[in-house]
Structure 1
Amino acid sequence: MKLKLILFFCGICFNSLAQQVPKRASFEDTIKFIEHEVVDLTAIGDLFIVDAFTDIYKQPALYQDSVLTFLKQHHTYQQNVIAACSMMGLPREQYLSLLLSYYELYKQGYIDEKLLNEIILFNPADSRYKFISSYNNDKMKQLALLIQKDKRLSKKFKKWMAKIASGKIYKDLKGGGFIPD
């Protein structure tokens, strides 16, 4: 009986340790750990169950440069999305500046249009509609103009950006009751 109890307790300790990222882990290792914990992003809310993700999400300014460096390296699509989602906690102005940086990474060839689309237009962690509610912001207008002028981006991408920048998407969602007052 004592042996079973000891083995049971050790199992709990082992499982608890297996769920924690080392305190001094790099940003890259932390994102890989988060990916391992959530497996896939079918339910984006699963990210918030992982302490390592919420630690970054609560203090994104500390990791903003790390995200940009991370996106310049070769990682999986899902890891890139997780890294970008972790920045949603930034204040609006900083977040919009970061989106401009994402566009610069696209121009430099570090990220492709599919990823740019996901992390700018349809960031799955943007549950507060920070991006689309910024349609009157100068940085949003600057980003929209850059995207509209970019000959490499698809017409579909530009069309969505134009709808967001005009405020149409925000007004439609708000009118439909999807965005609270």
Structure 2
Amino acid sequence: MTAMSLPMADQKPLSVASVEYVEATDFLLLEAELLDDLREREWLETMVSKDVVYQLPIRETVERARGRGFIEGTFHLNENYGSLSSKVARNETKYAWAEDPPSRLRHFVTNVRVRRHGDADKLAVRSNVLIYRTRQDHTVPQILAGERHDVLRREEDGLRLLERVVYLDLTVIGTHNLSLFF
């Protein structure tokens, strides 16, 4: 999957009563809980595949005729397991000044749509995410909203995040850092 693809977008989403939908939704809700509780190491080691692709494309404001406004091949974040692991490790040290004390986060995940992927062991999942972030004693929260396009793969110990592309609704990200996980 590339940052511009819409996996299985022409396929009807599975019913909310399907086993796959329940599994995917349970995965997303547990993931949000771990990230909100700053249990980043647990999230990485139990929910993220070793060959993950994790991207946040850059958006620009364009006319409707020019597409959705994402610049092909350019990213605010273009991560793999190693770089995600480095971010987690850095947050665990006393040198993570940008996040010490840590931000207070809430991940609101909604409008979950699950489709069968071309591979039997994968699910294509689209969801909307709203991240509400407060820092120190600031009175104005930072709010990040967008749509996530995920591929979840069934591995030995359950579903894991294989691919995530986050399409933010913002063209200018008004936050002091991106040391959070979407």
The alignment's TM-score, normalised by the length of structure 2, stands at 0.23
More helix per residue: 1 or 2?
Answer: 1
TM-score, normalised by the number of residues in structure 1: 0.23
Between 1 and 2, higher relative CO (CA 8 Å, sep ≥ 6) is seen in: 2
